Structure 1
């Protein structure tokens, strides 16, 4: 299954995925970024390797009303979230193997393990406040 591209027509579908039990993996990119253009096929292949998860491609300029306040320092940036818990937010090497291992190891964590990591790490705690895609989608609605 290929990744979704976030747009105004499928925001409710993405929000529903976050409300359910599936993990969400979002790639934050920009159309003008050559690295992102080359990474899109890799991201779709990653989505095919993980059909139990929702993969969403987000152009930060096209979807600025949703993600405009996120501090995206470099491309591609991945956001991995389960329910209301942001498990990862950061720049990712455009390498399919590295991304696969990150998704696999992150999704192997229980919500309790994620909460413990959040409680014991200031950066992860900030992700909950600043990077929660479910919150960002609600605010843009």
Structure 2
């Protein structure tokens, strides 16, 4: 059970790649019981996203139950890649250093939970 773990996909309504990725995100997210999957449009939810600079879509942020960001960055839009990133993050590994603005975004998202 992964209650309280969040996988957020930062996307944009105009991004066709994001549209194609949405069912992949939902399907892979459903494989992890209790995982919360959030689809966040960076333009519609700019206040929530804050200063996070999204240059490449899809950008994924994996947030642990304690609020620690385990992964933040663009992913190739493939189920196996997303699955691997989620599993490593769930194992407690922080995959790469996380910028302060991403940590602040994670805190805002957790507060809204």
Q: Where does residue 98 of structure 1 map in the other structure?
A: 81
Say yes or no: does 1:135 pair with 2:111: no
1:68-113 CA-partner distances (Å, limit 9, x unpaired): 411111000000011221111000100001101110111012xxx6
Q: Over the residues paired in the alignment, what is the CA RMSD in angstroms?
A: 2.4
Task: Count how many residue pairs are aligned between Structure 1 and Structure 2.
Answer: 109
Q: Where does residue 38 of structure 2 map in the other structure?
A: 56
CA drift of 1:59 comes to 0.6
Aligned 8 A contact 1:66 1:139 in 2 = no
User: Residues 134 and 90 from structure 1, CA distance in 2 versus in 1: closer, same or farther, beyond 3 angstroms?
Assistant: closer
Distance in 2 between the 1:89 and 1:44 partners? 18
Q: TM-score, normalised by structure 2?
A: 0.83
Structure 2 unmatched ranges of 5 or more:
none
Task: Map 1:1-141 onto structure 2 (within 5 A).
Answer: 22-82=4-64, 83-109=66-92, 114=94, 123-124=97-98, 126=99, 129-132=100-103, 133-137=105-109
User: Residues 40 and 138 from structure 1, CA distance in 2 versus in 1: closer, same or farther, beyond 3 angstroms?
Assistant: closer
Structure 1 unmatched ranges of 5 or more:
1-20
Q: TM-score, normalised by structure 1?
A: 0.68
SS at match of 2:54: coil
Q: Where does residue 8 of structure 1 map in the other structure?
A: none
